[in-house]
C-alpha cells in the first residue's frame, strides 16, 4: 500500500509530518490515520512506536512525546516543538500553484468571491515559495464536462454528449454510460458503453464538446459507420522537419534510418497526417493512399490557381 520506498529519510519525513497532523486531529482512529498517510495500519503502529521514543534532550518521561494509541484511537501530547506543520517544499508549492491555476480558470463566473480568494491565495503561496510568476497551467478540458461525466459515473447514469471525431471531422451526438476516466500519455479518456453504437468505446475528453445527463439510456442503435478496425501497413519517407515527423507519426528514433514501416488504424488519419506534414514526408505505400493524397493535393492546387 505504501507508495514510496521505505528509506530512513522518507520515514523521518513522514514522522515529522505525523506530529502536527495528530495535534490537529486528536483522537483520530488508527486505521483512518494510516489511510491518510497511505501506509498500512501495521506500518503506522511502527511509526508511532518510533515517535514515542523521541523528545527533547533529557529524554525523561517529562521530555518525551506522550502518545497513546493502544485503544485504536491516537492522541498526542507534549509535542509542542514539532506541532506546527512543516514548510512546503518547492515541489509541493509548485503542485499547489499549478493546481490553483486550474481552479481559477474553472470557477463559475458568478463566484467572483471565490475567484478573488483563489487568486490572493495563489499569490501568497507563490511569494512564500520564492516563485513569483514562474509557473502556469492551462486547463485543456472543460471542467463542467468533466464534472458532468464524473457525476454520471458515480450515479451510474447516462449522458448525451456531442463528440468531435477528429479523423472523420464530424460532430455526432451519442448517448453513453461512462464507466471510468483514464489517462493515456497526455490525454484523458472516458471509457464508456456507447448506447448509440451498442459497444464499449473510448472517448477523448477534450473532444467532448457538451455533456448532459439523460433520464434513461436511449437504446436506439445507430448503424455502425465506417469502423476501421483492421490495421493498414504503411511506408513513410521523411524529407525534412525530422522532429515534427517523429512526433506526428510516433516514430521510434532508433528506426530513423531509411524508410519507415508503421501501422495505422485509420485511413483518414494517415491521409490527413501526410497532407498536414506539408511535403516534409512522403507516403511510399500503400499505393492507393498515395494516389489519393496526390489527387487531393492536385485538385486543391488547381483551385488555388483558378481562384
Partner 1 sequence: MSRKIERLINLTIALLATKRYLTKNEIFSSVEGYEGSPETKERMFERDKDDLRNLGIQIEVGGFDPAFDDEAGYRIKSENYSLNLGTITGTEIALLSLAAEAWRGAALDDAAQSALLKLRSMGVESDMDSIPNISLQIRTPQTNFEMISQAISQRGVLKFSYLSKDLEVQHRSVAPYAIATHRGFWYLAGMDLDRKSLRTFRLDRIEGEIETSRGSNEYAIPEDFDILKSLEAIRKPERATLDIRKGKAHLLRVQALSIIDKGEWDEITLEYQDLTYVVDSILWHGDDVFVVAPDNLREAVVDALKVLVGLHG
Residues within window 230-259 making contact with partner 1, judged by CB under 8 A: 239, 241-244, 246, 253, 256
Taking CB under 8 A as the criterion, the residue among 44, 129, 159, 161 binding partner 1 is 129
Q: Taking CB under 8 A as the rule, does residue 118 contact partner 1? A: yes
Of 60-79, binders to partner 1 (CB under 8 A) are none
Q: Which residue has cell 515527423? A: 245
DSSP tag of 221? P
Name the minimum Å distance from CB 219 to partner 1. Answer: 27
Decide: is 219 part of the binding site for partner 1 (CB under 8 A). no
3-state secondary structure of 220: coil
Q: Does 103 bind partner 1 (CB under 8 A)?
A: yes
Which parts of 132-191 interact with partner 1 (CB under 8 A)?
132-141, 143-144, 146-147, 150, 164, 166, 169-171, 181, 183, 185-188
Tell me which of 70, 92, 213, 233 binds partner 1, using CB under 8 A: 92
Closer to partner 1 at the Cβ: 36 or 233?
36
Instruction: In whole angstroms, give the CA distance from residue 37 to residue 50.
Output: 16
Q: State the minimum distance, in angstroms, from the CB of residue 9 to partner 1.
A: 6
Residues 6+ apart with CB under 8 A from 177: 152, 156, 157, 158, 159, 192, 193, 195, 217
Cβ distance to partner 1 smaller for residue 219 or 287: 287
Minimum CB distance to partner 1 smaller for 106 or for 177: 106
Tell me the C-alpha distance between 277 and 268, whole Å: 14
Distances (CA, A) of 45 to 67, 71, 75, 163: 11, 12, 13, 50
Q: Rounded to an integer, what distance in angstroms lies between the CA atom of residue 193 and that of residue 199?
A: 6
Closest to 208 measured CA to CA, from 154, 266, 167, 166: 166
Query: Shortest Cβ distance from residue 112 to partner 1 (Å)?
Result: 13
Residue choice 68, 99, 212, 265 for contact with partner 1 (CB under 8 A)? 99
| 86 near partner 1, judged by CB under 8 A | yes
Residues in the chain: 307
Amino acid at each position: 500500500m505504501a507508495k514510496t520506498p521505505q528509506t530512513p529519510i522518507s520515514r523521518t519525513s513522514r514522522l515529522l509530518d505525523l506530529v502536527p497532523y495528530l495535534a490537529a486531529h486528536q483522537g483520530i482512529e488508527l486505521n483512518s490515520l494510516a489511510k491518510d498517510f497511505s501506509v498500512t495500519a501495521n506500518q503506522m503502529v511502527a511509526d508511532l512506536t518510533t515517535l514515542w521514543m523521541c523528545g527533547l534532550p533529557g529524554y525523561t518521561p517529562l521530555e518525551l512525546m506522550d502518545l497513546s494509541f493502544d485503544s485504536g484511537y491516537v492522541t498526542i501530547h507534549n509535542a509542542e516543538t514539532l506541532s506546527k506543520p512543516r514548510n512546503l517544499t518547492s515541489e509541493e508549492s509548485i503542485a499547489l500553484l499549478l493546481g490553483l491555476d486550474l481552479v481559477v480558470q474553472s470557477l463559475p463566473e458568478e463566484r467572483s468571491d471565490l475567484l478573488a480568494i483563489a487568486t490572493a491565495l495563489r499569490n501568497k503561496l507563490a511569494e512564500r515559495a520564492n516563485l513569483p510568476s514562474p509557473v502556469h497551467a492551462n486547463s485543456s478540458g472543460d471542467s463542467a464536462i468533466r464534472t458532468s461525466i464524473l457525476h454520471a459515473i458515480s450515479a451510474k447514469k447516462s449522458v448525451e454528449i456531442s463528440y468531435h471525431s477528429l479523423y472523420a471531422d464530424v460532430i455526432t451526438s451519442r448517448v453513453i454510460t461512462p464507466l471510468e476516466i483514464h489517462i493515456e500519455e497526455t490525454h484523458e479518456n472516458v471509457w464508456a458503453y456507447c448506447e448509440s453504437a451498442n459497444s464499449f468505446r473510448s472517448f477523448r475528453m477534450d473532444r467532448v464538446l457538451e455533456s448532459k445527463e439523460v433520464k434513461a439510456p436511449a437504446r436506439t442503435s445507430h448503424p455502425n459507420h465506417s469502423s476501421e478496425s483492421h490495421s493498414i501497413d504503411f511506408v513513410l519517407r521523411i524529407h525534412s522537419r525530422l522532429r515534427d515527423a517523429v512526433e506526428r507519426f510516433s516514430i521510434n528514433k532508433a528506426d530513423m534510418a531509411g524508410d519507415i514501416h508503421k501501422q495505422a488504424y485509420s485511413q483518414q488519419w494517415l491521409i490527413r497526417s501526410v497532407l498536414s506534414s506539408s511535403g516534409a514526408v512522403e507516403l511510399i505505400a500503400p499505393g492507393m493512399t498515395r494516389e489519393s493524397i496526390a489527387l487531393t493535393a492536385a485538385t486543391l492546387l488547381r483551385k488555388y490557381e483558378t481562384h
